[in-house]
Structure 1
């Protein structure tokens, strides 16, 4: 009798526990397998809180808005000192969207805050790991040469990649086989020199003001002040050694500079000049590339030109995507599998959210002259928040340009798998695109 009573009580207790189990909890089935709860019963739905930019960085001035760290009910006005111009340019640092979380090393550096090295005939300012420690893969230099001015004959331990921002440049080089090269490039064009290849840069007078260009090097600790310069080497070599090397007299070197020239004025070169005759011939792959003459791929919200070793064959360590985004559009949500992205903003205003995994994301604002950096595999998008076309360069230390589109990934994944994760509507699922959009148009 006691054994029967115990059996009845156990059955009643199990029945009671089963009935009181909360909806959505894991339940034991007859097969011994746990059945998972639907996602919407596992975690709360994402918030619908508005997270638009708090003020327009392209139209505000110090007098027409009071930038404060306030978003909805969060934050409070600053009571102490403020740097209003910097706050106006960085609304998403001062009043970040509520979706931002965690901590990411600084991913923004404006060339305006770089120390400028001024010379007779031009100047140069740089960004490397001293300014942005996370940018270990690449460093950049913004250089200006007046018409005729020369960046003297030199070479580097790293590759040198360049994008002409304004004006025209004539470049020369000689490779390890003694083959030479001379080329002239203009706005939107490229040049590239592999490590150790000696070269020179000179602005032509095709425009009155000379030229300005962006240099990118495939090492974050590169310093423009530590290049191998012709005049620096000769100034630190005994003249008797120079005489023996060149088979002439010591007096032939009476007028060589006592220190490096770096940048110096000179007579503008002939834009149609020919390379000196060379018994070894000319380099098989040119060191310049007319990216400006490549027809861009037109996209719903902008355009893109890509140059990597498949088109600019000599450029084996640097690849670029030259991107435009129209107002309201965005460079779609994506990531680059293995290479860090060094971004240079030429014009316009951008808003970028970078996702670093582990519930960590930060939003940044960029304008023309700013440098951005996105480590490999960090998810991100680039939104045009201004009234003009946004123009920027995505630059990578690789031979081949690569990216992965979030939209395409989901479109090519079984629908049931996507639905299980995101609980999307049928209409939203229909909008997934099996072809990369690259740049998407705004809502209007």
Structure 2
């Protein structure tokens, strides 16, 4: 019977021209509610091995040490006596990257904003023409609470341009690799031209038209915009201006025949290959009767030449309007944190902090009043976001230096450090408030001067055991 053709099947049902009705796609009513026939299948959901990371199952959850899941096959949501095993399928690749989300410290509580995003996870890279480069961005589409800033990472191959353009938002940039030639003109008609290298900074105010070209070997840079809703797709491009104005108007405005515009691009170029820039920058130094932008208002700062301040555990160097006047409301710190060290617990009283992780890996706990705290893990290419006055630290959880950029919307870079505050508070107040011994409070007084980065205290030799 199973081998009968459809035609034979029709004959067997009296030459009817319809097949027998199939079984219902829905189940019978007998499956509703309790019935002895609907017995329970008792299954052991914990019959497979769950290896734990060092200290994960034995250390008190409130100690909150970093858990290394890199060699753990199936990371489990367990921290001390808290949590339980995960019998179902899960994304173990992500779990290994974000151990503090899988097994958060016992001190985490409630829900803060999402303070972490990887540029690798943005919906897509925006690709330039003819392999000239690409960009990828972070904004409120992926981090809804990061309203003060948006970020773009961009790559230009040698000779490639980010075409002539301007933005409604201001553009602050840090060179990540290679070198580039940047050019602009301000509202006074004053011209600007400079070459920048790895570690240097530029700033273009809103509405100032500019271009960027990769020099020998190409370039890569980080752009920070002072509007969390900024998008690369909302940039004003010179190609679009020419494409969307009548050619007769262009002819009258620019004083050339209409036929001169027969070959203009039909629309956006974005990133495209071009003629290599001459090594002698003076050959491109084009000005008008207004001359060049004065030094006090220039758009570049050679941050790479600034020596960092070495501190115990790392180094820090700051750039803000006191040294780079044109960037009147952008302040930043480039911080290096040695393995095991940490950027001290701090907060910024007047600004949100937008952070970019350039190298290494780390973690941070964001504390939001009244009692919400979440711990996040970060690696190269990640963005962190810490709202105004919300305390946080950044601890290096890797075996190489962690380098991060902290950006504020402020006229100078500043923060308040937990250690310095406690150390300069009368000891009796601290003892009474935190129930600390006088010996402990005396030891805390060593932090009266700002530390920025706290050196590693080494591994916990005798971790507190869970009861």
- The offset of 1:250, in angstroms, is 0.6
Q: 1:234 aligns with which of 215, 238, 242?
A: 242
SS in 2 for 1:167: strand
SS in 2 for 1:168: strand
Deviations 1:276-312 (A, max 9, x none): 1332111122211111110100000100010010011
8 Å CA contact 1:204–1:270 kept in 2: the answer is: no
Q: 1:391 aligns with which of 391, 403, 406?
A: 403
- The offset of 1:319, in angstroms, is 1.2
Deviations 1:16-66 (A, max 9, x none): xxxxxxxxxxxxxxxxxxxxxxxxxxxxxxx8843212225xxx25xx542
Residue of structure 1 in register with 2:128 after alignment: 119
Q: 2:366 aligns with which of 344, 351, 354?
A: 354
Residue of structure 1 in register with 2:97 after alignment: 89
Residue 424 (structure 1) aligned with residue 436 (structure 2): yes
Residue of structure 1 in register with 2:13 after alignment: none
SS in 1 for 2:318: strand
Residue of structure 1 in register with 2:30 after alignment: none
8 Å CA contact 1:184–1:271 kept in 2: the answer is: no
TM-score, length of structure 2 as denominator length? 0.81
8 Å CA contact 1:170–1:271 kept in 2: the answer is: no
Partners of 1:74 and 1:304 lie apart in 2 by 38
Q: 1:333 aligns with which of 335, 345, 355?
A: 345
Indicate the larger mover: 301-310 or 270-279: 270-279
Residue 297 (structure 1) aligned with residue 305 (structure 2): no
SS in 2 for 1:387: coil
Stretches of structure 1 that go unaligned for 5 or more consecutive residues are 1-46
- The offset of 1:100, in angstroms, is 0.2
Partners of 1:339 and 1:252 lie apart in 2 by 50
Partners of 1:311 and 1:171 lie apart in 2 by 20
- The offset of 1:427, in angstroms, is 3.4
- The offset of 1:182, in angstroms, is 0.4
SS in 2 for 1:365: strand
Change (3 A) 1:226 1:350: same
Alignment of 1:22-101 (within 5 A): 49-55=62-68, 60-61=70-71, 64-101=72-109
Partners of 1:351 and 1:395 lie apart in 2 by 18
| CA RMSD in angstroms, aligned pairs only | 1.3
Residue of structure 2 in register with 1:168 after alignment: 179
SS in 1 for 2:63: coil
Deviations 1:103-156 (A, max 9, x none): 112111101111101112111111100000010000001111110000000001
Deviations 1:313-332 (A, max 9, x none): 11112211000000111100
Alignment of 1:42-441 (within 5 A): 49-55=62-68, 60-61=70-71, 64-114=72-122, 115-120=124-129, 121-205=132-216, 207=217, 210-274=218-282, 275-284=285-294, 285-430=297-442, 431-432=444-445, 433-441=447-455
- The offset of 1:401, in angstroms, is 1.0
TM-score, length of structure 1 as denominator length? 0.86
8 Å CA contact 1:162–1:215 kept in 2: the answer is: yes
- The offset of 1:419, in angstroms, is 1.8
Residue 442 (structure 1) aligned with residue 452 (structure 2): no
8 Å CA contact 2:420–2:448 kept in 1: the answer is: yes
Deviations 1:372-395 (A, max 9, x none): 100000011111111100000001
Change (3 A) 1:143 1:415: same
Residue of structure 2 in register with 1:21 after alignment: none
- The offset of 1:367, in angstroms, is 0.4
- The offset of 1:272, in angstroms, is 3.6
Residue of structure 1 in register with 2:464 after alignment: none
Stretches of structure 2 that go unaligned for 5 or more consecutive residues are 1-59, 459-467
Matched residues, number: 390
8 Å CA contact 2:355–2:383 kept in 1: the answer is: yes
Partners of 2:210 and 2:112 lie apart in 1 by 38
